[in-house]
Amino acid sequence: QLFYQVKGDMCLKIIENGEKKDIIIREGEMFLLPARIPHSPQRYTNTVGLVIERERLKTEIDGLRYYVGESTDVLFEKWFHCEDLGTQLIPIIQEFFNSRQYKTGKPNPDELLKETPFPLNSTTVMEPFSFQGWLNDHRGKIKQRSLSMFGDNFETEVIAYGPGTTEKNKTNSDLWIWQLEGTSVVSVDGKTLSLSVGDSLLVRSQSVYCWRRTEECIALCISQDPER
């Protein structure tokens, strides 16, 4: 998941290599959370944050876990294919609050998996960083060529583009284009769409598109390919 705090701060609670850790993402900061790391976003009143994650493949499973006190011992868990968190989490949360585990604070070993459906990620996470600061530091390079923000080690690919043209590419995954400066024009599925500062566009997987960017353009193109 890619996090960016538009307004105010947030706390992302994670478990990193078996230890609980709080990641404070401040206003204007960006943070990339690698896949398969347990996490719990904590948001506050009058804050606005952007989170980008892809649709799940039919074969993929997500899990919701509660822990024993402040430990990393699992108290309750439920695994499911995620299609809509807004509707799917509510009944699972209600099930937990009605459970014996919630009332006693003790797990039921018969209801816990011996192994998770996938191995948890043991990566040490990065520190949040100022997104505008990164842009300012790399502005010269971005104007000359596209520049990857995080390299090739993550499923999430974030590329900053300056002026130029991306000719009739076919996408292997959904693309999200975010216009940061200047303007650009995207032709996709027989439509031509103009993007100004602050605009964004979702280009669906397998679409053929052409993207023309003006001299003043700086834009992000974000994709999350499960094959990476």
Structural domain contains residue 195? yes
| Rounded distance between C-alpha atoms, residue 79 and residue 9, angstroms | 30
Note whether residue 122 is domain-resident.
no
- pLDDT string in tens for the chain (228-residue length): 999 999 999 999 999 999 999 999 999 999 999 999 999 999 999 999 999 999 999 999 999 999 999 999 999 999 999 999 889 999 999 999 999 999 999 999 999 998 999 999 999 999 999 999 999 999 999 999 999 999 988 999 999 999 999 987 788 899 999 999 999 999 998 899 999 999 999 999 999 999 999 999 999 999 998 877
Same domain, 89 and 190: no
Bridge partners of 164, per DSSP, are 213
Does 178 fall in a domain? Answer: yes
* Cα 34 to Cα 211: distance, rounded to the nearest angstrom: 28
Q: How far apart are CA 160 and CA 141, in angstroms?
A: 10
Give the three-class secondary structure for 129: strand
- Residue 70 belongs to domain with CATH number: 2.60.120.10
Backbone angles phi, psi at 102, to 5 degrees: -65, -40
- Separation between Cα atoms, residue 15 and residue 37, nearest integer Å: 7
Same domain, 99 and 158: no
Q: Sign of torsion, CA 192 148 23 89?
A: positive
Among candidate residues 92, 48, 45, 46, the one with its CA nearest the CA of residue 66: 92
In a domain, 135, yes or no: yes
Q: Are residues 79 and 8 in the same domain?
A: yes
- Do residues 191 and 220 both lie within one domain? yes
- Judge whether 116 lies within some domain: no
> Rounded to whole angstroms, how far apart are CA atoms 206 and 22?
38
Q: Please tell me the predicted confidence (pLDDT) of residue 153.
A: 86
CB-based contacts of 97, cutoff 8 Å, min separation 6 = none
pLDDT of the residue at 112? 95
Residue among 226, 113, 140, 212 nearest 169 (CA): 212
The first and second tokens of residue 25, run together, are: 């993402």
Q: Rounded CA gap, 43 and 181, in Å?
A: 28
User: pLDDT, tens digit, for every residue of 122-154?
Assistant: 999 999 999 999 999 999 999 999 999 999 889
Does residue 89 sit in the same domain as residue 151?
no
Show the domain range for 210. Answer: 131-224
- Whether residue 135 is found in the same domain as residue 171: yes
Nearest CA among 155, 121, 149 for reference residue 223: 155
Question: Do 186 and 142 fall into the same domain?
Answer: yes
Rounded distance between C-alpha atoms, residue 199 and residue 39, angstroms: 29
Is there a single domain that holds both residue 14 and residue 102? yes
**Has residue 167 been placed in a domain?**
yes
**Is residue 228 a contact partner of residue 155, using CB atoms and an 8 Å limit?**
yes
For residue 139, being part of any structural domain is answered with: yes
Q: For residue 85, what pLDDT is reported?
A: 86
